[in-house]
Amino acid sequence: MGQKVIHVLNGPNLDLLGQREPAIYGHQTLADVEALCRAELDGRDVGLIFRQTNAEHEMVGWLHEARIGAYGVILNPAAFSYAGYPILDALKMCDCPIIEVHISNIHRRDEPWRAQSIMTRSVTAIFSGAGIDGYALAVRHLLQIERRKAA
């Protein structure tokens, strides 16, 4: 059996992280997020696939890749959170833990619809409002889930 892999999948507009609404999302870039995730896995026998897309069909394809045998999925669905039903269906087919991450606290945002993520129905846990540290927390949580399984 090959190395276990965590898939970190990022939705629309996160390619502009650091530029888009920095008062809400901060000044760190997606490259900073990836470096943070890789640092959490340093010295561990767990790989990382880190991706971002603005296309729903591409996200669905990536979830199909992760569907069987992944160590876990960390998903920041971004705007897919509110109408990405094909992504929700793909999540339901995954046999691994799934952590939903939002950089901002979606429950404190001015637009009430932001608190209504449809993805929440099929995820293991949610980190919302911890900035990019939410990704590191998600990686640590996946490692903890696996440790508990092994015990």
> Cα separations (Å) of 23 from 66, 72, 103?
33, 30, 12
d(CA 42, CA 40) in angstroms, rounded, equals 6
Using an 8 Å Cβ cutoff, are 12 and 79 in contact? yes
Please report, as a single letter, which amino acid is at residue 109. Answer: R
Residue 103 annotated as binding?
yes
Residue 105 annotated as binding?
no
Residue 104 annotated as binding?
yes
Residue 89 annotated as binding?
yes
Residue 148 annotated as binding?
no
d(CA 48, CA 5) in angstroms, rounded, equals 5
Told to judge if 27 belongs to the known catalytic residues of this protein, a careful annotator would answer: no
> Per the residue annotation, which of 7, 27, 71, 102 is the catalytic one?
102
> Per the residue annotation, which of 7, 25, 71, 135 is the catalytic one?
25
Told to judge if 57 belongs to the known catalytic residues of this protein, a careful annotator would answer: no
> Cα separations (Å) of 75 from 79, 83, 124, 128?
12, 15, 11, 12
Residues in the annotated binding site: 76, 89, 103-104, 114
The residues annotated as belonging to the active site are 25, 102
Residues in the annotated binding site for substrate: 76, 89, 103-104, 114
